[in-house]
Structure 1
Amino acid sequence: MSRLSEKVVIITGAASGMGESFARLFVEEGAKVVLTDINEEKGQKVAEELGENALFVKHDVANKDDWQVVVDKTENTFGPITGLVNNAGIVGPNDIPLEDLKDEDFNNVIAINQYSVFKGMQTVVKSMKKANGGSIVNISSTAGLVGSVNVTPYVTTKFAVTGMTKAAALEFAEYNIRVNSVHPGGIKTNIDVFDAVKKATPLGRIAEPEEVSYLILYLISDESTFSTGSEFVVDGGFTAQ
């Protein structure tokens, strides 16, 4: 039996990178998946390749109205939502000291990495209640567990995601809605990975997106029904040092 049969899952940032990897695995495991992204051309192509159990919706995750459109289209196409993976994100300005940051750069990272997670969780709850429960996975980072130099906006948002996850897990528990955060280290995606991260990783390499996908699969599936409010780390030992 497929691990995600009868699951209806929204994945943001699903046109490429980790999000695309999640979507491909989820459809393979029996889920109905709505892929969202601002890149319409790539997102539509992935959804078409995945077939009738996949739908692409163009989506600016920092736009609250877009979130309602995504939820409505998901319900109208596949039924009540049982899973949400808040994956979309940006690093923002790299290697810029805090004292030199521009307000607009900081606020843009907040909107995409932090506000979108809040708005996504808020918007899907009503649908998950209809489904009598669900699982939300918020993609944070090792930067949501330890500090990093000259990427203050990114670190700020990823720590915020960790905190929001715990708060939401407590609020949603009575509805059988679980909320967990996942903290990848260096992953081969479209987001730049510094060589220093690779060198500092005990396993001595950068991970493939698929090495995160199976953890997300576990958390969205019914195999993880007693896991909520927790941080799951996939970093090759980076934060163990």
Structure 2
Amino acid sequence: MTNELQGRVAIVTGGASGIGRGIVERFVAEGANVVIADVQDELGAALAERSGPNAVFRHTDVGDQDQMSALVDATVERFGALDVMVNNAGISSPLRRGLFSEDLTEFDRVMRVNLLSVMAGTRDAGRYMADHGGGSIINLSSIGGIQAGGGVPVYRASKAAILHFTKCAAIELAHYEIRVNCIAPGNIPTPILQSSATGQDRERLERFEARIRAQMRDDRPLKRDGTPEDVAEAALYLATERSRYVTGIVLPVEGGTTAGKVMVRKPSPEENGARQ
């Protein structure tokens, strides 16, 4: 570790598990003071304890604007600053049998957690950063927001909106030396995929997830599965001075999936034009 975030203060929403936990662990390892914001109290508290004195847990419903504002205030009170805001928290919408089966009952909840939280987190962190020399805001979207596809339309719509909002915020907040960027993960094994499959017993759920994972693997150029640590490396780059001239970007971390479909078979070196 290089202590790239030594003395910096960060918030990671949805930080108790999955990608959020990976980001928390990486930031702490690089010397940051981190506030873990989540509704999973047991997981969040345990992660904070394992991470040592540089991490604290705060119960936060990110879909509540008042709680998001209080999160920023509490972070500044606890650590004296806020340098990096990672808006990571998110949920899936249920996977149903086609658009005609969608009743959209989850629309308000998914949009509140996935999109409103990002907008409020960017606004509230930005307000502080504007008066304190700038900072870095990192919003988590998904390849589901870049690439169209069937299923979970509310989830996809919420993630697509994050991409556009991030670019708009980057333009507006650049005046204050605040960089706003977006990471779009894909094919990262986390509990969010399971949450999209409702009304299924455990065995069917496991078969469903295995089938989806296999399809994702077939569709991407890099065949190894991504990990939360891969996303955390991207977040670290966007949080540090290495990206000081980078704002308004969308960085896919998904093994090349959005680049295009893979060939049916792996070509030989000769077919690929490799020198002998």
For normalisation by structure 1, the TM-score amounts to: 0.96
In the TM superposition, 1:162-177 aligns within 5 A as 162-177=163-178
For 2:35 and 2:68, locate their aligned partners in 1 and report how far apart those are by CA, in whole Å: 12
- Give the deviation of 1:103 after TM superposition: 3.3
Confirm or deny that 1:232 pairs with 2:251. Answer: yes
> Post-superposition, which runs of at least 4 consecutive aligned residues in structure 1 deviate over 6 A?
none
The residue type paired with residue 218 of structure 1 is Y
Q: Deviations over 1:109-134 (max 9, x none)?
A: 11111111111111111211233010
How many Å separate the matches in 1 of 2:55 and 2:97? 39
Report deviation, 1:237.
Answer: 1.0
Look up the SS of the partner of 1:123 in the other structure: helix
Aligned mates of 2:139, 2:105 — CA distance in 1: 24
**Contact kept in structure 2, 1:95 and 1:149, CA below 8 Å:** no
Unaligned regions of 5+ residues in structure 1, if any? none
Query: Aligned residue for 1:85?
Result: 86
Amino acid at match of 1:127: Y
1:96–1:151: 8 Å Cα contact kept in structure 2?
Answer: no
- C-alpha distance in structure 2 between counterparts of 1:68 and 1:139, whole Å: 19
| Percent identity for Structure 1 against Structure 2 | 39
* Alpha-carbon shift at residue 8 of structure 1 (Å): 0.7
Distance in 1, matches of 2:120 and 2:131, equals 19
Q: Distance in 1 between matches of 2:46 and 2:132?
A: 29
Distance 2:100 2:122 in 1: 32
Distance 1:61 1:224, change over 3 A: same
Q: CA RMSD in A?
A: 1.2
Residues of 2 paired with 1:228 and 1:3: CA distance? 19
Task: Please tell me whether the aligned partners of residues 134 and 176 of structure 2 are also in contact (alpha carbons under 8 angstroms).
Answer: yes
Q: SS where residue 183 of structure 2 aligns? A: strand
Counterparts of residues 120-159 of structure 1 (less than 5 Å)? 120-159=121-160
Q: Hey, what does 2:223 align to over in structure 1?
A: 204
Q: Where do 5+ consecutive residues of structure 2 fail to align?
A: 194-208, 261-276
For 2:117, the equivalent position in structure 1 comes to 116
Question: 1:96: Cα distance to partner?
Answer: 4.1
Other-structure match for 2:267:
none
- 3-state DSSP of counterpart to 1:35: strand
Give the TM-score normalised by the residue count of structure 2. 0.84
3-state DSSP of counterpart to 1:5? coil
**What is the one-letter code of the residue matched to 2:176?**
Y
